[in-house]
């Protein structure tokens, strides 16, 4: 379960329906061209919080059918509706996903006991390993080292997707829990996270930049920091340009230039302008 995992995009048509063929093409691009170690399915990059339970299930089915056992598969099943999270967890476990993941419950200001109960309820109901998805900037949930420790004490909680710029906490987590999986979630900070001996990374830009992500990760493991820094700089030039142009829309348009039918984003995300489509093509030509 170590290495580079793409936070998988999903292809939708202009009406917001799943574009099955396009989704299969995104999966194949990540496996065949980017050579990633795994896919993180139905995370925020997959527009998970904009779709129905049945759509989530269908995406899980398509990805498993297309990927088979070629790469490791992590299913993000977290939801404010804990019944949905459990239902999805059981569903993907039957599909033989390698692990489940769940974002910390958000919007309502849950205390830690409520957050702990959320994870324990899921893992007590679902017979699969759990990876905590911590992204404080979007959820407002900041957990301390001791609180992470309470969660990681459970045998079925095997790791954390750590999407935060707190490298002190990241180092403390790595030191305190050497046998748990720690994945970096900020693509632009992959190198400093790798220096702290993470087990891998999960990123949205890996859909178009997976090869560089692997180079950064592996060079850091080899102690070749100067070489890794050069690739991180190029990566961050790309990330800056993508963010300025519209994150998900630009990645989808970049994939289209490589013959991948990445489709459209669901509302309320806006559709990309012709000018920004042209910019995405420029970025694809330069960086892919």
Active site residues: 133, 161
Residue 37 labelled as part of a binding site: no
The DSSP symbol for 30 reads: I
Interhelix angle for 274-287 vs 225-245, to 10°? 170
Residue 44 labelled as part of a binding site: yes
Residue 45 labelled as part of a binding site: yes
Strand ranges, E, within 115-261: 130-134, 157-162, 181-184, 200-203
Residue 187 labelled as part of a binding site: yes
Residue 38 labelled as part of a binding site: no
Distance of alpha carbon 4 from alpha carbon 239, whole angstroms: 17
Distance of alpha carbon 177 from alpha carbon 108, whole angstroms: 29
Residue 34 labelled as part of a binding site: no
Length of the chain as a residue count: 288
CB atoms within 10 A of CB 199: 17
Residue labelled with tokens 């829309």 = 249
Residues pairing with 100 in the sheet: 75, 130
Contacts of 63 (CB under 8 A, 6+ apart): 8, 23, 27, 39, 41, 73
Residue 204 labelled as part of a binding site: yes
Instruction: Kindly give the pairing relationship between strand 157-162 and strand 3-7.
Output: unpaired
Residue 231 labelled as part of a binding site: no
Calculate the alpha carbon distances from 146 to 58, 155, 269 in Å: 37, 16, 37
Binding site residue list for aceneuramate:
44-45, 163, 185, 187-188, 204
- Per the annotation, binding residues for pyruvate are 45, 202
Q: Which residues are annotated as a binding site?
A: 44-45, 163, 185, 187-188, 202, 204
């Amino acid at each position: 379960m170590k290495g580079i995992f793409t936070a998988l995009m999903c292809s939708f048509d202009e009406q917001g329906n799943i574009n099955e063929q396009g989704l299969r093409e995104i999966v194949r691009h990540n496996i065949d061209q980017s050579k990633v170690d795994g896919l993180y399915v139905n995370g925020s990059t997959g527009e998970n919080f904009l779709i129905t339970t049945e759509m989530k299930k269908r995406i899980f089915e398509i990805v498993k059918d297309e990927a088979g056992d070629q790469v490791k598969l992590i299913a993000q099943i977290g939801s404010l509706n804990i019944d949905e999270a459990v239902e999805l967890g059981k569903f993907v476990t039957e599909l033989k996903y390698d692990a489940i993941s769940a974002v910390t419950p958000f919007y309502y200001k849950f205390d830690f006991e409520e957050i702990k109960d959320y994870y324990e309820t899921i893992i007590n109901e679902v017979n699969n390993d759990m990876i905590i998805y911590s992204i404080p900037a979007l959820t407002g949930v900041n957990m301390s080292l001791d609180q992470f420790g309470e969660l990681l004490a459970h045998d079925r909680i095997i790791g954390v997707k750590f999407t935060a710029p707190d490298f002190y906490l990241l180092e403390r987590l790595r030191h305190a829990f050497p046998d748990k999986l720690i994945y970096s979630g900020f693509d632009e900070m992959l190198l400093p996270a790798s220096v702290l001996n993470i087990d891998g990374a999960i990123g949205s830009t890996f859909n178009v930049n997976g090869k560089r992500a692997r180079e950064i990760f592996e060079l850091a493991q080899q102690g070749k920091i100067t070489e890794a820094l050069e690739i991180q700089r190029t990566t961050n030039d790309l990330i800056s340009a993508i963010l300025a142009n519209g994150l998900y829309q630009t990645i989808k348009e970049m994939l289209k230039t490589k013959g991948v039918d990445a489709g459209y984003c669901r509302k309320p995300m806006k559709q990309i302008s012709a000018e920004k489509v042209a910019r995405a093509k420029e970025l694809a030509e330069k960086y892919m």
